[in-house]
Amino acid sequence: MNSQMTPGVAPARLSAEELAENFTDLHAPLQSHEAAVAADRCYFCHDAPCVTACPTDIDIPLFIRQISTGTPEAAAKTIFDMNILGGMCARVCPTEDLCEQACVREAAEGKPVEIGRLQRYATDTLMAKGVHPYARAAATGKRVAVVGAGPAGLSCAHRLAMLGHDVVMFDAMPKAGGLNEYGIAAYKSTDDFAAREVDWLVSIGGISVENGKALGDGLTLDGLAADYDAVFLGVGLGGVNALGAPGDDKDGVADAVSFIKDLRQASDLAALPVGRNVVVIGGGMTAVDAAVQSKLLGAEQVTIAYRRGREAMSASRYEQDLAASHGVKLMFNVMPRGVHGNGAATEVELEYTSVEGGKLTGTGETVRVKADQVFRAIGQTLTTDGGLDLEGRKIAVDVSGRTSRDGVWAGGDCASGGDDLTVTAVAEGRDAAMDIHSVLTGA
């Protein structure tokens, strides 16, 4: 797509000052006195439901108690023991659907303890000191290849390095970080936090990163298995599903992932082109991130079109409300039937849907929505599996992340199970690392 040549799509819809204000931190960090007040709301429950709701099993009451006693560095260590990317997860994890939804205060008062913001306060405090909280164990002499430097790969690499193994990470992109670097809204991760977190994580030592190398493009599973004692795949989902409707190839139509990536890497937001009328097709976090950021760039009308009802959206109700608060229109029970325009998009035709016998079907009634820019956010696909067994469209793994090939593990979005969340990917990478360590050392 050549957005610069597409009618209705243009850069600099807002001034540099307006853009800077729009893309500030979504949630301002807590100051120390605010953190103390927020921590005092915790009941420090025994068998706390918030811990059960956390995919990485962080001892949430303990770290909040540590904040309340004035030791945020100790709180951060409690978090990092279970989730080495606790800083990013504090920013992007859907806490409103996980730990905070399970909070006793939420059930009693409708206002949970601010677990996510407290987690950020603790992790930011420790990371700001520039000292890594872990030391490597004695060298084991074992070498592990980690393909994919996203959340799963980084988590796996760190735990392996901490246990004394040497790790080489391979990643297709110019920067490490995966979706943390390229795939989430800019207002959720400001001040180049993703890159700084990677630098902090690898400072434990024993981890080297080789960029511009992807599985199937210069790297083979056979070659890695021959050169390393174990292999972990955290390759994510690199492909984007097609719109499945006529006009998908028109100027102005693109995938939302690429749009978000370009925005995250842009040095000048005013140079990014955006339409006057933007339609995002999809119902997940990517759809919301693309829609909200289109609005923040200066789009006049932004619409999310989702084929099912509100309750079926994978984006949380909080994210839906965030979009609405920025003026994004949410349309439910509509699916794309075509993109219209003479060479470039001018309208999206949507058909209303219903569910009959558990199956989604079109009703025959259609509506057209103005759209000079259309973003596909209808799911991603696995681009390479290394010849491993699949479960559905993902690499089949067991509970420890083992694949169908001995010596090869996988985790994160590319692997079966899980829910495509950063925090889940971190847990899967960590758990796979522990299993790899057990196999390599016989422990």
Estimate the crossing angle of helix 422-441 against helix 151-162, to 10 degrees. Answer: 40
Q: What angle do CA 296, 301, 305 make, to 5 degrees?
A: 100
Q: Is residue 324 part of a domain?
A: yes
Q: How far apart are CA 247 and CA 337, in angstroms?
A: 9
Residue 5, pLDDT above cutoff 70? no
Looking at residue 174, its pLDDT comes to 97
Structure tokens at 194: 């993703």
Cβ-based neighbour number of residue 28 at 10 Å = 9
Whether 76 is in a domain gets the answer yes
176 and 98 within one domain: no
- Say how far residue 236 (Cα) sits from the centre of its chain: 10
389 with 283, same domain: the answer is: no
Task: Check which CATH number belongs to the domain holding 44 and give it.
Answer: 1.10.1060.10
Instruction: Give me the sign of the Cα torsion angle 308, 309, 312, 316.
Output: positive
Does residue 230 form part of some domain?
yes
For residues 357 and 271, state if they share a domain. Answer: yes
Structural domain contains residue 1: no
**Last residue in a domain, options 376, 392, 423:** 376
With a cut of 50, say whether residue 1 has pLDDT above it.
Answer: no
196: CATH: 3.50.50.60
Residue 24 falls inside a structural domain? no
Q: Is the pLDDT of residue 132 over 90?
A: yes
Q: Which residue has the tokens 């950020």?
A: 120
Please check whether residues 123 and 148 belong to one and the same domain. no
Whether pLDDT at 354 is above 70: yes
pLDDT at 297: 98
Residues 297 and 355 in one domain: yes
Instruction: Tell me which of 354, 376, 398 is where a domain ends.
Output: 376
Mean predicted lDDT score pLDDT of the chain = 95
Distance CA 368, CA 386 (A): 43
3-state secondary structure 238-298: CEECCCCCCCCCCECEEEHHHHHHHHHHCCCHHHCCEECEEEEECCCHHHHHHHHHHHHHC
The token pair that represents 405 in the structure block = 């090939």
Q: Are residues 334 and 396 in the same domain?
A: no
Please give the residue range of the domain that contains residue 398: 143-238+382-441
Angle at alpha carbon of residue 288, lines to 235 and 98, rounded to 5°: 75
Listed residues 376, 393, 419: the one ending a domain = 376
Domain match, 399 and 431 both:
yes
In a domain, 22, yes or no: no
- Determine the straight-line distance between the first and last CA of the chain, rounded to whole angstroms: 53
Instruction: List, for residues 101-115, the tens digit of each pLDDT value.
Output: 999 999 999 999 999
Structure tokens, 119? 């987690």
Tokens of 29: 């960090």
| pLDDT, position 146 | 98
DSSP for 196-215 reads HHHHHHHTTSSEEEEES-EE
Residue 278: pLDDT band (50, 70, 90) is very high
391: phi then psi, degrees, rounded to nearest 5: -125, 105
| 260 and 347 assigned to the same domain | yes
Instruction: Say how far apart CA 129 and CA 47 lie, in whole Å.
Output: 32
- Do both 252 and 171 map to the same domain? no
The tokens describing 218, both together, are: 């210069």
pLDDT of residue 108: 92
Same domain, 246 and 233: no
Task: Judge whether 4 lies within some domain.
Answer: no
Q: Examine residue 12 and state whether it is found in any structural domain, yes or no.
A: no
Domain count, the chain: 3
Query: Mind listing the pLDDT tens digit for each residue in 183-212?
Result: 999 999 999 999 999 999 999 999 999 999
4 or 314, higher pLDDT: 314
Whether residue 3 has pLDDT greater than 50: no
pLDDT in tens, 401-429: 999 999 999 999 999 987 889 999 999 99
Are the CB atoms for 7 and 372 separated by under 8 Å? yes
DSSP classification of residue 35 = H
The reported pTM is 0.95
Cα dihedral angle (285, 127, 66, 58), rounded to 10 degrees? 40
Residue 113 backbone phi and psi in degrees, to 5: -60, 140
Instruction: Tell whether 342 and 437 lie within a shared domain.
Output: no
pLDDT grade for 4, boundaries at 50, 70 and 90: very low
Please state the three-class secondary structure of 317-330 as a single string. Answer: HHHHHHHHHCCCEE
Mean pLDDT, residues 296-321 taken together = 96
The whole-number pLDDT of residue 2 equals 43
Cα atoms found within 13 Å of the Cα of residue 75, Cβ hemisphere only: 28
**Distance (Å, rounded) from C-alpha 176 to C-alpha 42?**
36
Q: How far apart are CA 341 and CA 372, in angstroms?
A: 9
Q: Are residues 363 and 394 in the same domain?
A: no
Cα–Cα dist 157/179, whole Å: 16
